[in-house]
Structure 1
């Protein structure tokens, strides 16, 4: 203010100019931004639902309401990830208010004031009220607490009154949604013919022999796929390939890594801390005051880093050890010995086989598959390799099934936890373990232990100096200013051995991360700007502890699907079609036994058997679950061979050895219930998808946030 007063004394004109400049600086983003009125874009519509446009001001108002409630309850400000989640909640609320309400109104569904009263303080209390007004210690619900709260509501701050109003609104919406879904669920009907079909599929058994030539037996490089073939396939399967607005980029990163001077300064500091930790009267208090990374004083193997697991084996009570470096953090430890804990930890790996749905037939198919994999492992197959190729748990599958250390405190589902913690030695558990997630094949890699290690820990992270940051930015800026196209970009990376070229394909407009780059919204928004054309090089972006320079390599348009949008998928499909034609042509006209035909075909042809399988649970050894092959086989007569045909993953000739038809029964109630329950379990998801599709939702939030 003193500076502004001084300027005012010198020149009124100067004050006016500077004041205008300050105002434009402070609000320029709102007035002159890409989505502003003065910036040449009067489109303030954040989306459209069932023909109704959502204005950015209305949307932001709802987000602000959610934020106020959240911050009032949590007592802190939101981070960017939490704010993004609230925007999703606000958007979904608009979908309910507009798209769902249309359906409710057509059916005359509503929640009356009397019904709301009954939900809040009557005889049929809502689960949300039960949760909000239950004693956290005993878990008992106190209706009087609700009544007293409502009596005093008008004396509470306006924010709390507004929160209760929104809470009651959400109760009405939950109950209306439940009525709607229950109405549809109760309308689910399974005719007797469908129940009978399910019974026959589960209980008709067959013994099969088959010749199978998988697509992978033909080397990909021997098959040439042209763009014309891809275009023809895409044209014939347009409904299978829905377009989306995406962008593809290549990029390089310039990490802001601490320099040697930064590391040396911290190393000297932590050695001083080590001396203090050794003599401190309260090592836990000293560690808590000086660490950058809070760590519990008592640790189990389940909570230790890999480096500490090895180091602790050499620790002696009372000793100070370190520094140990993990990434950009130095650690020192003061060891205080061990004690037993009521909670145990163990380490295990698993292979998860999940049923396709909740029907008995699907569960049986999953069990058969899991038993087959377990048998392979018992016979000597590599557990890690099978986990990588067969497990339905993607997180652990890429680590060979490894789940790391965990405790017996409910971290894992009960059947899994009981199986692991009942094992007294490492090794394969010789039976399947079933949980709500599916069938688990488990290998215990470290049996249970309840030992706790008392370790006072100080961790100090190396922070790069400003000079280090400036140098990283200088290198990124120099790179960005010397390349003007994708070709120059890639050529510059080749010449600079310190740079690594990375790519990210089909990035959606709403993306917040790009590969391992967190908080990458600015890069995404740049890629989707109208003036960012393919081969455009970006400015320097700062994300976390690195600078990023990108080049746009491709676009996809939701309204104009091109081959390049799905090139890899289309190429695989067309290549397999060509392989199928080549394999079929080679097998066509072959006679004799399946072994004779396989011998004439040569390398790649497999002859296998399948015993006592059904249509519902049929699993072929090498081909897996192939409904086309099973359908062909069950349509044959005993001793009959099919012609050459294409299955899911290869070419077949099926032979039915014999078939035992399902016994005649009069009551199909059990199977009718199975089919009905399977449909009902998917009802909520299917209803949601149908309403959203019918509403023709256009979500343009990514252009604003």
Structure 2
């Protein structure tokens, strides 16, 4: 009885415990599992902007809206190459909705309903609406068309309504951002002192004489650099080198190339299609249904006849079949469905250009040479050979052949007139003058007004299933027997048929990997939180090749080390060490610069530069070197600097003359210049400042 009493006493607690346990069992996966919000997991977020998490679902919905708008405007879905741009637009919309909005709220900026109405049907119509509602009779924007459109809005197709609603939803944010940017832009103020300084920077001129020893005068191989020196330089210049989230991979490709069997099978297919095309009553429809490459289905002039068919023109008959022809991986067959005469003529010709400029001497020389060569051709010399020897344009290597040309197709008028006023074939009797020089012309095919209509089928040789399976088998075998980067490198070194490639500093948003297009899946794998340095990927299929990668290096935003910037650091430290060597050899220089240069050796140059201005930032024979230019204007006439390291070498600069800027009463021109420069850069600087303040974490690479 005592035991039963104890059970009754504790039963409430026990039942509660069981209920909690059952609850945890049911929802534990959501609360304490890998995607737990309580445990701080953000695996379903694409990023954070100004402290606000952006879920993958939210971002996906925004992206879908942009994709639908794109499809509505162009009549097709965006391609793989176009998707990264749309993803960036979607992300920027969130930056504006969150980071910009915080700034708007601090300033009390807003867009009223009246403003929105004004942008659609008021006095300040949005440019997009002005372009869309144009009266065809006046070719001008018509506000009545907008009002009529809005009144009939409920009767419009659903996709049209959705497109308008989306457009309207962007009007407010767009106007708000414009207000904000204009407010900050208008806050720009340039003082008279700043305007005067700009005037003096542009107008004060200095003449200098300088000794210059370029860094490249010392071979790179003679400079030994240690990691300790690189680290010391990095520690002193941390502000120059920001941490980046990057990955470096090595990869191999297994191309899926058509086999001889694939080619044979396609050749048989194209022959069967030729029989079908020959017998087809509606040949144009048959061709369109069976071709891989769309072709011109209308009448074409001689210059538009495919190159492989031009040799067959003499045998052209209506209903005739031509081909198959092979060019690269494409087979072509043609059926001549109709022939007609047109008002515009075509002719085939060759020419030899003797180029001249506008001076009388140049033209006289070109004419003399043209007449000499013309005499040789009339005496029996080959026109084609003379074109190869004397031709001054790109046709020379083809013996001057211009191919078929249709009247009005773009030749300069004197040339075209001479060509089409000549009857038959053969050499024109005299050189023809144009703005380019003098031409000798030979008509190789007589004028014709014929136009042709062709039904065309082009089939591209594609890898068959067996070919794809064999390529995948090789790739899968490589991946299945390779578990580390060292295995990867060893296998590649032992197999002469494999070539490996390195892609350095991939970034999370990259879509391509070197020359591999649409390689987004490879990039996502490289940035996956589960991928470690040394890991080897699964097999990726990219277009017509299989790819396997290994992660060989990574850098993170929060950590900067020498390997992140090794090439840049090495170059900077190498130049520092070269500068030390050069200045040590120069010692404490005295005397004339030329004598110093002779004492130093042939690598030292003495040059002069006239009319140097502070705003130029460049020095003749040295290049871009703002520090060197700045030092010039710190000198008095006759003074010179001690040796110093510039951007490209060591210099000693002597000021030989200085022409101060003349006094002017009005600096408004320069004040406007500075104001316009600052104003034009304002949107960029504003955007960068807001993004920096928002402390953005972009994790979209985990999903896209």
Query: What's the TM-score bracket when you normalise by the shorter of the two chains?
Result: 0.7 to 0.9
Equivalent-residue separation in structure 1 for 2:691 and 2:642 (angstroms): 45
Equivalence for 2:6: none
1:355-504 correspondence runs (5 A): 458-504=457-503
Change in 2 beyond 3 A, CA 1:642/1:298 = farther
Moved more, 236-245 or 61-70: 61-70
Given the alignment of the two structures, is residue 513 of structure 1 paired with residue 481 of structure 2, yes or no?
no
In the TM superposition, what is the alpha-carbon distance from 1:596 to its structure 2 partner? 2.1
Taking structure 1 as reference, are residues 282 and 106 closer, same or farther at Cα in structure 2, changes over 3 Å only?
same
- CA change 1:617–1:544 in 2 (3 A) is same
Whole-angstrom distance in 1 between the partners of 2:464 and 2:529: 37
Indicate if the aligned counterparts of 2:257 and 2:463 stay in contact, CA closer than 8 A. yes
Contact 2:133 2:146 in 1 (8 A): yes
The residue aligned with 1:15 is none
Alignment partners' CA distance in 1, 2:253 and 2:545:
6
C-alpha distance in 2, partners of 1:257/1:36?
Answer: 47
Residue 522 (1) aligns with residue 524 (2): no
Unaligned runs of at least 5 residues, structure 1:
1-29, 342-403, 406-419, 426-443
* SS in structure 2 of the partner of residue 616 of structure 1: helix
- Separation in 1, partners of 2:641, 2:452: 70
User: Judging changes above 3 Å, is the alpha-carbon distance between structure 1 residues 71 and 278 closer, same or farther for their aligned structure 2 residues?
Assistant: closer
Does the C-alpha gap of structure 1 residues 191 and 295 become closer, same or farther in structure 2, counting only changes over 3 Å?
A: farther
1:620, 1:115 → 2: CA distance?
53
**For residues 44 and 329 of structure 1, do their structure 2 counterparts lie closer, same or farther at Cα, with a shift above 3 Å needed?**
same
Q: Could you tell me how far 1:321 is from its partner in structure 2?
A: 7.5
Contact 1:324 1:332 in 2 (8 A): no
Question: Relative to structure 1, is the Cα distance of residues 53 and 260 closer, same or farther in structure 2, using a 3 angstrom cutoff?
Answer: same
Supply the distance in 2 between the matched residues of 1:289 and 1:329 (Cα, whole angstroms): 17
Which segment drifts farther, 475-484 or 617-626? 617-626
State the Cα RMSD in Å. 4.0
Cα-to-partner distance string for 1:11-60 (whole Å, 9 max, x where unaligned): xxxxxxxxxxxxxxxxxxx9xx99799xx966322221111122223333
Q: CA deviation at 1:688?
A: 0.9
**CA spacing shift, 1:255–1:103, aligned 2, 3 Å:** same
- Structure 1 range deviating more: 647-656 or 155-164: 155-164
User: Residue 234 of structure 1 corresponds to which residue in structure 2?
Assistant: 234
Return closer, same or farther for 1:530/1:62 CA change in 2, 3 Å cut-off: closer
Q: 2:325 aligns with which of 300, 311, 323?
A: 323
Partner of 1:568: 567
The residue number in structure 2 matching 1:93 is: 93
CA shift at 1:474, angstroms?
0.8
DSSP-derived class of the 2:653 partner: strand
TM-score, normalising length: structure 2: 0.72
Shift of 1:615: 1.9
Other-structure match for 2:151: 151
Mapped pair 1:610 → 2:609: yes
Measured at CA, do residues 489 and 618 of structure 1 come closer, stay the same or move farther in structure 2, by a change above 3 Å?
A: closer
Compute the displacement of 1:585 (Å): 1.2
Does the C-alpha gap of structure 1 residues 642 and 279 become closer, same or farther in structure 2, counting only changes over 3 Å?
farther
Give distance in 2, aligned partners of 1:201 and 1:334.
72
Alignment partners' CA distance in 2, 1:282 and 1:592: 94
1:696 matched residue in structure 2: 695
The alpha-carbon deviation at position 467 of structure 1 amounts to: 0.5
Residues 35, 704 of structure 1: 8 Å contact kept: no
Q: 1:213, 1:604 within 8 Å by CA — same for their partners in 2?
A: yes
Question: Match for residue 218 of structure 2?
Answer: 218
Relative to structure 1, the CA distance from residue 68 to residue 202 in structure 2 (aligned partners, 3 Å threshold; closer, same or farther) is closer
Q: Aligned partners of 2:136, 2:49: CA distance in 1, in Å?
A: 40
Task: Mark the CA change 1:206 to 1:283 in structure 2 (over 3 Å): closer, same or farther.
Answer: farther
Following the alignment from structure 2 to structure 1, what is the Cα–Cα distance between the partners of residues 84 and 91?
Answer: 11
CA distance in 2: counterparts of 1:626 and 1:110, whole angstroms: 46
Distance 1:164 1:618, change over 3 A: closer
Q: Is the alpha carbon distance of 1:683 and 1:318 closer, same or farther for their aligned partners in structure 2, counting shifts above 3 Å?
A: farther
2-structure distance, mates of 1:299, 1:652: 70
**Aligned equivalents of 1:279 and 1:114: distance in 2?**
68
2:125 matched to which residue of 1? 125
Asked if the contact 2:116–2:172 (Cα under 8 Å) also holds between the matched residues in 1, the reply is yes
- Report deviation, 1:509: 2.0
Change (3 A) 1:503 1:618: closer
Does 1:196 pair with 2:189?
no
In our comparison, the structure showing a higher alpha carbon Rg is: 2
Indicate conservation of the 8 Å contact 1:153/1:161, yes or no.
Answer: yes
SS of 1:483 mapped into structure 2 = coil
Residue 104 (structure 1) aligned with residue 104 (structure 2):
yes
How much has 1:100 moved relative to structure 2? 1.0
In structure 2, C-alpha distance between the alignment counterparts of 1:523 and 1:184, rounded to whole Å: 42
Alignment check: 8 A CA contact 1:188 1:680 kept:
yes
Secondary structure in structure 1 of the residue aligned to 2:615: coil
Partner SS state of residue 635, structure 1: coil
Shift in CA distance, 621/70, structure 1 to aligned 2, threshold 3 Å: closer
Change (3 A) 1:299 1:180: farther
Q: Deviations over 1:499-524 (max 9, x none)?
A: 11101111112222211222222222
Looking at structure 2, the residues matched to 92 and 555 of structure 1 have their Cα atoms a distance apart, in angstroms, of 26
Assess, with a 3 A threshold, how the Cα gap between structure 1 residues 455 and 590 changes in structure 2: closer, same or farther: farther
Residue equivalent to 2:630: 631
Residue 210 of structure 1: how far off its partner (Å): 1.6
- Asked if the contact 1:206/1:659 (under 8 Å) is kept, the reply is yes
**1:299–1:628: structure 2 CA closer, same or farther, 3 Å change rule?**
farther
Counterpart Cα distance in 2 of 1:667 and 1:290: 74
Partner of 1:592: 591
Deviation at 1:675, TM superposition (A): 0.8
State the distance in 1 between where 2:61 and 2:475 align.
39
Q: 1:547 to 1:669 in 2, by over 3 A?
A: same
2:48 is equivalent to residue 48 of structure 1 = yes
Conserved 8 A contact 2:84-2:511:
no
**Whole-Å Cα distance in 2 between the matches of residues 602 and 74 of structure 1?**
66
Q: What do residues 629-662 of structure 1 show as CA deviations (whole Å, max 9, x unaligned)?
A: 1222233333333211111111111122222111
**Residues matched between the structures, number:** 570
Q: Which string of whole-angstrom CA distances, capped at 9 and with x for unpartnered residues, describes residues 254-308 of structure 1?
A: 00000111123334555677799899999987765553222447999xx999xx8
Distance 1:315 1:194 in 2: 75
The secondary structure found in structure 1 opposite 2:512 is: coil
Measured in 1, the distance between the counterparts of 2:688 and 2:637 equals 45
Give runs of aligned pairs for residues 614-693 of structure 1, distance below 5 A.
614-617=613-616, 619-693=618-692
Q: Which stretch of the first structure deviates more once superposed, 314-323 or 85-94?
A: 314-323
**3-state SS of 2:524 partner:** helix
